[in-house]
Amino acid sequence: MAHAQATTRPGGRSSRVLAAIHTAVGELVAEGSDKMTFPLIAARAGVNPTTLYRRWADVDELLEETAVAALTQQGGAVPDTGTLEGDLSEWATLIARDITRPVRVRYLRAMVGARADLVTHCPVTERRTEQAAEMLRRAEARGEEVPTVAQVLDHVVAPLYYRVTFALPVDEDHARRLARDVLAMRR
Amino acid sequence: MAHAQATTRPGGRSSRVLAAIHTAVGELVAEGSDKMTFPLIAARAGVNPTTLYRRWADVDELLEETAVAALTQQGGAVPDTGTLEGDLSEWATLIARDITRPVRVRYLRAMVGARADLVTHCPVTERRTEQAAEMLRRAEARGEEVPTVAQVLDHVVAPLYYRVTFALPVDEDHARRLARDVLAMRR
């Protein structure tokens, strides 16, 4: 993944340009711009539109990457409490808190609205998959029984994103209940 | 709910008008109309726009009702196989089949895109809640252990809608697995 490399490479011109583009997207989304184009984003970021056309297939892909970048900066490491129940519970509440922020809700709706056909690449899901896999690996190493990564995605991640995209209320108690529910599937 | 009454009252002028409006919405959505207005829908349905302004608070509410009406006509009764596992498994595959139809995907995206603030009324969720409650009531009457209605919504309904709105693949095996997963929460 070229994008992941670019976002993790520290310092340098390329990472400054990328940061400017992400900031521009964030500002435009926050202002409620509903027709996002590469020239518009480039103008705001003060970069040449060619940079954008070269790096991303379309605006949707850039939008998603920006959301993932924002997430990565914010969260970083996944919880490591010593038990899978503690980790999943804390992780679920972090997701709930994160995706209910107005700017994130806007990103998610813009992302969903922009998708037409089935996607083969969904950065949000991929990022959550990596995080879940990491917590499950640690729990297994401790000798705990674990659900599958797919179950964690279906039963913790999906219900939270469902509620946010459908504009239904999400709270931390609900997030913790989802973590308990998926753990009941281990037996 | 005034709408539910209107849709279930058989025959008569009012139900003919309602059917014409639902058909008009369905056609416009299928044609990919992205700016749906009451005058546009009224013109297509051959009714007075006042009828629409009187009955629905906004276009979004009408869109949702149309989606629910389409669903009700299609499905009607929930599965009654004699076991909760059979019922939930069949119900999940019906939902998967229903919401992956292109016209339904468009409805769902339009609905999600139109929502800004938290909603207090979500016909799709309400309809699924009633269906889940009915299957759980029957299972309890047979003496089966049952998960809660909220668990069925979070762990069967939400993952399916999540995948459809995020344009991720959904299939019937996945739907059946969700039904098995939620049943594992009973213990």
Is the pLDDT confidence value at B100 over 90? no
Predicted pLDDT of residue A10 = 47
Between CA B83 and CA B90 the distance in angstroms is: 11
Is the pLDDT confidence value at B125 over 90? no
Low-confidence ranges of chain A (pLDDT < 70): 1-12, 30, 32-34, 70-76, 103, 110, 113-114, 116, 187
Predicted pLDDT of residue A73 = 55
Residue B90: alpha-carbon gap to chain centroid: 16
Closest approach of chain A CAs to the CA of B126, in angstroms? 12
Contacts of A165 in chain B (CB under 8 A): 112, 162, 165
ipTM: 0.70
Q: Do B113 and A109 touch (CB under 8 A)?
A: yes
Q: Over pLDDT 70: what percentage of chain B?
A: 83
Q: Do B119 and A166 touch (CB under 8 A)?
A: yes
- Per-position DSSP letters for A115-158, written without gaps between them: --S--S--HHHHHHHHHHHHHHHHHHHTT-----HHHHIIIIIH
Predicted pLDDT of residue B51 = 92
- Give per-residue pLDDT as tens, B27-85: 787 676 667 899 999 999 999 999 999 999 888 888 877 777 765 555 557 899 999 99
Size of interface A-B (CB pairs under 8 A): 94
Q: Do B115 and A109 touch (CB under 8 A)?
A: yes
Between CA A80 and CA A99 the distance in angstroms is: 21
Q: Do A124 and B166 touch (CB under 8 A)?
A: yes
The larger pLDDT score, comparing residue B100 to residue B69, is at B100
A151 touches chain B (CB under 8 A): yes
- List, in order of start, the domains of chain B with CATH numbers: 2-70 (no CATH), 79-184 (1.10.357.10)
Contacts of B106 in chain A (CB under 8 A): none
Distance of CA A6 to CAs A3, A14, A17, A80, B151, Å?
A: 5, 7, 10, 27, 40
Nearest CA in chain B to A178: B154
Predicted pLDDT of residue B81 = 95
Contacts of A168 in chain B (CB under 8 A): 118-119, 122, 125
Sign of CA dihedral B163, B164, B168, B173: positive
Band (pLDDT 50/70/90 cuts) for residue B11 is low
Q: Do B154 and A159 touch (CB under 8 A)?
A: yes
Predicted pLDDT of residue A70 = 66
Q: Do B109 and A125 touch (CB under 8 A)?
A: no
* Number of residues that make up chain A: 187
Between CA A86 and CA A139 the distance in angstroms is: 11
B185 token code pair: 């929460």
> What mean pLDDT comes out for the span B107-131?
77
Is the pLDDT confidence value at B10 over 60? no
The larger pLDDT score, comparing residue B127 to residue B89, is at B89
Q: Do A113 and B109 touch (CB under 8 A)?
A: yes
- Give per-residue pLDDT as tens, B86-97: 999 999 999 998
Closest approach of chain B CAs to the CA of A125, in angstroms? 9
Kindly report the average pLDDT of chain B as a whole number.
83
Contacts of B151 in chain A (CB under 8 A): 181
Predicted pLDDT of residue B75 = 52
Predicted pLDDT of residue B71 = 58
Predicted pLDDT of residue A75 = 52
A101 touches chain B (CB under 8 A): no
Closest approach of chain B CAs to the CA of A10, in angstroms? 31
List for chain A the helix, strand, coil content (%; round to 5): 70, 0, 30
* Amino acid code (one letter) for B106: R
Between CA B59 and CA B33 the distance in angstroms is: 13
Among partner residues A109, A118, A157, which is closest to B167 by beta-carbon distance?
A118
Secondary structure element (H or E) that encloses residue A87, with its range: helix A84-99
Residue A138: alpha-carbon gap to chain centroid: 21
Predicted pLDDT of residue A8 = 42
Is the pLDDT confidence value at B185 over 60? yes
Chain A, window 15-74: residues with a beta carbon less than 8 angstroms from a chain B beta carbon? none
Q: Do B159 and A162 touch (CB under 8 A)?
A: yes
Is the pLDDT confidence value at B119 over 80? no
